[in-house]
């Protein structure tokens, strides 16, 4: 999904859709790729054409699992009225955007 901070460059970010994750989180490497030199707890980005999306910095503690994987959380899906369709027979998951 394309992401951009302010008027910076656009970076294609591959996100893990985590229905149990309440917030959207990026790893430090994604923040760096977006041109963000100083890491703050959160930033506002344009994510997939949806402006003013708050993303948080992933927990980098030693017990944090998968700390380099960006997460698309329920906050983004709810705010943008996305529909998540799971097709178990065909083993596919689709996000429908309004």
Contact indicator for 17, 84 with CB cutoff of 8 Å = yes
Rounded to a whole number of angstroms, the CA Rg of the chain reads 14
Residue 85 has pLDDT above 90, yes or no: yes
Instruction: Using alpha carbons, list the distances in angstroms from residue 13 to 33, 43, 91.
Output: 10, 15, 23
Which of 57, 52, 53, 48 has the alpha carbon at shortest distance from 10? Answer: 48
Question: When comparing pLDDT for 31 and 84, which is higher?
Answer: 84
pLDDT tens by residue, 10-22: 999 999 998 888 9
Name the most confidently modeled range: 26-35, 63-72, 75-84: 75-84
Q: What are the structural domains of the chain? A: 2-96 (2.40.70)
Identify any residues that bridge with 25 across adjacent strands, giving them in sequence order.
56, 71
Confidence of residue 77 (pLDDT cuts 50, 70, 90): very high
> pTM of this prediction?
0.80
Which of 98, 62, 80, 96 has the alpha carbon at shortest distance from 24? Answer: 80
pLDDT tens by residue, 29-59: 888 888 877 766 788 899 999 988 989 887 6
């Amino acid at each position: 999904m394309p992401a951009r901070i302010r008027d910076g460059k656009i970076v294609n970010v591959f996100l893990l859709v985590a229905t149990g994750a309440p917030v959207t989180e990026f790893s430090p490497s994604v923040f760096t790729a977006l041109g963000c030199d100083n890491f703050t707890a959160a930033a506002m980005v344009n994510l997939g054409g949806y402006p003013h999306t708050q993303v948080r910095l992933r927990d980098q503690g030693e017990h944090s699992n998968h700390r380099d994987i960006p997460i698309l959380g329920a906050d983004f899906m709810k705010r943008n009225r996305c529909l998540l369709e799971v097709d178990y027979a065909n083993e596919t998951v689709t996000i429908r955007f309004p």
